[in-house]
């Protein structure tokens, strides 16, 4: 894979964007590489969480405009541009985006595809596509609106302005902020804590939270209740509750 580098650290997988000359701009090869890497990690029973990283200067500065500029409507429809990202968002194990520097356009959208966004204190977020005569196309108008509300999403997308990490945390886009030099360490620490939980339980929990974005409250509550009840068929539920009662660390299955 030419556009990313990958590694594993115990039960945590790392996908690191690796196009420094383009500020990690996301081209079609990047989408393919990230999707393939994430799918491979999901199939590995020892991996419990994935962390997506960029560089200190840029998580990803946007989609690759040089690649995109010559394309026409026929090509966009025929090749279904951006559809590859659906494979990444379908990953069932938890994902964390650790954002230092710029996360603009497609970079902001990639961060929002992850389950948790952590930011360095110098990170900058935005959807500036309107300045190019287009709009977000990788989920920006949809995920951003669900995360921060209609008015704020409209303001950011229509003006194209960037916001800092502090504003992003205040409006609910970012979960936590860390000093930039500690961001990777903190993201890996959080991922390791998640990965030590029951893998099946975290997958089920992720699915339930995702459902909250896609249906009514009553449907979501019923879905949550049924999943909760179904988890009592898992050995991990028996082990987790027994460990709590016996005041010891739980020993969850690793599959």
Given the residues 54, 62, 101, 106, select the one marked as catalytic: 106
Question: 250 an active-site residue?
Answer: no
For residue 81, count other CB atoms closer than 10 A to its CB: 18
For residue 174, count other CB atoms closer than 10 A to its CB: 24
Question: 184 an active-site residue?
Answer: no
Q: What Å distances lie between residue 93 and 47, 170, 214, CA to CA?
A: 8, 27, 19
Which stretches of the chain are assigned E, i.e. beta strand?
4-9, 12-17, 49-53, 58-60, 95-99, 102-104, 116-120, 124-126, 163-164, 176-178
Given the residues 63, 103, 119, 187, select the one marked as catalytic: 63
Given the residues 129, 165, 169, 187, select the one marked as catalytic: 129
Question: 109 an active-site residue?
Answer: yes
Contacts of 81 (CB under 8 A, 6+ apart): 28, 68, 71, 75, 137
Return d(Cα 124, Cα 55) in angstroms, integer. 13
Given the residues 98, 109, 120, 140, select the one marked as catalytic: 109
Catalytic residues: 63, 106, 109, 129
């Amino acid at each position: 894979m030419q556009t990313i580098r990958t590694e594993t650290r115990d039960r945590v997988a790392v996908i690191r964007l690796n196009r420094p000359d383009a500020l990690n701009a996301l081209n079609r090869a990047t989408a393919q590489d990230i999707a393939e890497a994430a799918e491979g990690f999901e199939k590995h029973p020892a991996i419990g969480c994935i962390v997506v990283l960029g560089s200190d200067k840029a998580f990803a500065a946007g989609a690759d405009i040089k690649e995109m500029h010559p394309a026409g409507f026929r090509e966009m429809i025929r090749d279904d541009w951006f559809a590859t990202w659906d494979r990444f968002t379908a990953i069932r194990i938890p994902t964390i985006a650790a954002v230092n520097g710029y996360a603009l356009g497609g970079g902001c959208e990639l961060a929002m595809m992850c389950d948790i966004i952590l930011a360095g204190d110098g990170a900058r977020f935005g959807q500036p596509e309107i300045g190019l005569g287009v709009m977000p196309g990788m989920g920006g108008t949809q995920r951003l609106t669900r995360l921060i509300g209609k008015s704020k999403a409209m303001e950011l997308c229509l003006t194209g302005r960037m916001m800092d990490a502090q504003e992003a945390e205040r409006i609910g886009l970012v979960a936590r902020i860390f000093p930039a030099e500690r961001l990777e360490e903190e993201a890996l620490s959080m991922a390791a804590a998640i990965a030590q939980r029951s893998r099946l339980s975290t997958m089920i929990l992720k699915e339930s939270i995702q459902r909250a974005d896609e249906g009514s409250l009553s449907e979501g509550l019923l879905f949550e209740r049924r999943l909760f009840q179904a988890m009592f068929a898992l050995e991990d539920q028996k082990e987790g509750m027994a460990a709590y009662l016996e005041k010891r660390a739980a020993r969850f299955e690793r599959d």
